[in-house]
Structure formats: structure tokens, C-alpha cells
Chains A and B, each alone.
Chain A
Amino acid sequence: MADDQASVAQIREWLDAVPDPEIPVISIVDLGIVRDVQWRDDVLDVVITPTYSGCPAMSVIPEDIKTELGRHGINKINISTQIAPVWTTDWLSDKGRANLKGYGIAAPRTTGVPEGCPRCESVDVEKISQFGSTPCKAQWRCKSCLEPFDYFKCI
């Protein structure tokens, strides 16, 4: 490895600036889809994992990674996709979970029920539909403030 190569830790920090194409308040690192970053001589290998099989964002993310790292002078990048072990919402970072809530999306919970309304914190909530505006979200409604909200599905 050449001395002027950026460290993997530094690159991960840069990747933390790449937003999820559909939920821009969380980064692809927050989402847990950056599985591995490694130098192979002068080529950077980046391994990513899909959230949902058919998630359309997966075709955009590699381009976004190349653009962001290109800004830091890294242009030889090999991005591959790996499906095992299977991505789960457990990989979402604490920062990511907090940012989701601030954006009005309830964070995933293993119980399958959101912690509460992301707007008024009420726990009096009900499910409207198992699917929301993207494959990773479900639609819920708050019975206190009456607002609908997205819930990041737990898988």
C-alpha cells in the first residue's frame, strides 16, 4: 500500500457523507450497507449489501459512492454486491435511528411496533398498511395527533 493512500477509517468517514437515495437524512454507512472497504494495490474494493432484494436505490448507490470518493481523489474503485449474511435493520446505527426520528420516520423495532409517533411521541398508534412509500417502510397513524407517519420496517 502506497503511503499516500487514504486509510480505510478515513474512507469510511467519507462514505458516511453519501446519503441513502430515498431517505437522505441517513448515510449508507448508517444504514449498514457498506460491508467492507479494502485496498487491493491501487484499487479500492468496496462491498455493499442490498437492503431489500428489489430496492431501486441499489442501482444508484454505487454511482454515488464513486462520485463521493472521486472528490477525494480515489478513482479506481471496484464495487461488488454481497447478499450473505443477510442485511437486517439491526445494522442501522444509533445516529441513523436518531436521524430517522427527526425526519419523521419511526425507527425499526423487533416487536414490529414503532416506539411511538415521531411527531408527538404518543404510543397510541395503529398500522394503516404493511408497505409505505418505499419497500423498507410501512404506513402507520398516530391516534393522538391524527398524523400518518412512516415506520422503517424491521427485518
Chain B
Amino acid sequence: MITHSNQTADSRHLLEFVLRQGDNALVLGHRMSEWCGTGPALEEDIALANTALDLIGQTQMWLAYAAELEGRDRSANDLAFMRDATDFRNLLLLEQPNRDFGHTMMRQFLFDAYQVPFLQALESSADQRVADIAAKSGREARYHLERSSDIVIALGDGTEESHRRMQDALDRLWSYAGEMFVTDETDIAMHNAAIAPDLKLIHAQWNDTVQARLNKATLAVPDSTFVHKGGKNGVRHEEHLGHMLATMQVLQRSYPNSVW
């Protein structure tokens, strides 16, 4: 899937790429952690918190690498807690507020269905550190996809109300999903350096997974092709991210450099 070439990766693009992976995991991980103690059932509460934990663990690996590449003597924690919203490189999809449980799981499903083939492709990355982190995270992503698929299918093909809520969630989130496949100069540089796959291939795999499972969930795939973008390149985050970071970063912002 990844084609090799002799070109060396521009280090600026590699940092940008690694930061995007770390910020995706961090922002979604924090969103999932917001459910802690308020899940719809004890089992779900635990599952949401454990998914968050996996994502935060993945964040530590990506952001530790990003901090090394940056070489400005900052740690993974500094990157997580001391950067402003405009410095974040996560997908807009992932900063969307949780809303109800169905909406949270639909967001998770749309991302998991991307993350599984994407991380699988990264396992053969020309950058060994990227390959190692992807191999570690990929197993967790596969487990997450199994769970989010089951829930999307159960609730989509559930009661009249659960079906309506899942369809609403899908309609709302659909225009955010497209940003995962928007290819910019960083993606091209990473693909040329055999560090990351061609997103077109990932898009095709994502489409197959998503179409099949949404069919099973009796949900109608929206026909809109509009794409909200500006998250992964940091140009235009929505107000949601700022609110989320205000909560997430308050301790480090108020008491800089405090440690456990």
C-alpha cells in the first residue's frame, strides 16, 4: 500500500503529521473521558472510560515523538496542556461535543472505521517509530471498531427513538467525516516518503466498512458531499475545541509545571 521512494521526508511535515495523530487521539480521548461517571449504564460507562484510556495512552506515544521531533525541549505533557486551540491539529469531527450517547458512538464509529485501515497501513511505514506506534495502537483501534459498530447497528436497528437519534447523529456528523480524506501537502510529502499511505486508498476501505455497517443499522447514508475542514491544518477549529481545552488545560494553565 505504501510505495517507497528515495526522497527524505521533510522534517517539518513529519512533525506536522505526528502532531495530527497525537492531537486526534488526545481530543477524542478527552471527549470520551467526559462521559466518566455519566454513562447510560455501568458497563457503558466503564467501556467509554477504557476507550478514553487507550486513546490517551496512544496520545502519549505520538506526542512524545512530536516533542522529540520539535526539539524545543518540550514534553508530551507540554504539548497537550500548554498549546492554544490554533496550535491543535485534530480533525473537526473529533472536537464535536458528545451530545447524546448515540451521537458519541456514531462519531467514534466514523473515526474507528478510518483509524483501523490507516494504522494498518502505517505499520509498514518507512519511519520505524511511526510503524511501532501504529502497531501498538492498531490492535486497540480494531477492538474499538468492533464495539462502536455493534452499538451503531444495535441502536440504528433498535427502537423508533434510537433509530431517529442515530440517523440525526449520522446526518450531523457526515459533513465532518470528509476531512479525514482531505489530502494536503503534508499528506503528499508523507506519502512520497513512504511514511504514510495514500488517503484515497483509506477512503475506499472506509467507504466499504461504513456503507456495509450503516446498511445493517438500517441507517440512510447522507448524499451530501459538503466537507467541513480546517481542523487537521489548524486553520479553522470550531469554538467547541476552545471550550474543551479550557477545561482540559485549566490546572496546568493555573499552576504551570505542577506535577503529580
Contacts and interface: CB of A to CB of B under 8 A. Distances in A.
B55 interface: yes
A53 B135 CA distance: 11
Interface of B: 43-44, 46-47, 50-58, 60-61, 131-133, 135-137, 139-140, 143, 146-147, 150
A97 interface: no
Contact of A128 (B43, B139, B147): B43
A52 B132 contact: no
Given A84-B132, A133-B46, A53 B143 contact: no
Contacts of B52: 54
Contact of A83 (B43, B51, B53, B132): B132
B43 A53 contact: no
Contacts of A133: 46
B31 to A, nearest CB: 15
Q: Give 6 closest A-B pairs by Cβ, nearest first.
A: A53-B57, A54-B57, A129-B43, A54-B53, A131-B47, A84-B132
Nearest to A58: B57
B247 to A, nearest CB: 19
Interface of A is mostly: loop
A130 B133 CA distance: 23
Nearest to B147: A130
Nearest to A59: B260
Contacts of B55: 54
A102 interface: no
A83 B54 contact: no
A155 B50 CA distance: 15
A83 B133 contact: yes
B8 to A, nearest CB: 22
Contact of A132 (B46, B131, B143): B46
Contacts of B57: 50, 52-55
Contact of A52 (B44, B53, B131, B150): B53
Contacts of B146: 130
A55 B56 CA distance: 10
A129 B54 contact: no
A85 B134 CA distance: 11
Contacts of A135: 50, 53-54
Contacts of B54: 52-54, 135
Given A50-B57, A86-B139, A130-B146, 10 more contacts: A50-B136, A52-B140, A53-B56, A53-B140, A54-B53, A54-B54, A84-B132, A131-B147, A132-B46, A155-B140
Nearest to B42: A129
Interface string A55-95: 11000000000000000000000000001111010000000
B47 to A, nearest CB: 4
A129 B44 contact: yes
Chain A CB within 10 A, most for which of B46, B135, B140, B147? B46
A88 to B, nearest CB: 8
Contact of A54 (B43, B56, B139): B56
Nearest to B133: A83
Nearest to A85: B135
Nearest to A82: B132
Nearest to A148: B43
B154 to A, nearest CB: 13
Interface string A120-155: 000000001111111100010000000000000101
A52 B137 CA distance: 9
A53 B50 contact: no
Given A50-B57, A135-B53, A135-B54, A83 B47 contact: no
A129 B46 contact: yes
A84 B135 contact: yes
Chain A CB within 10 A, most for which of B60, B136, B137? B136
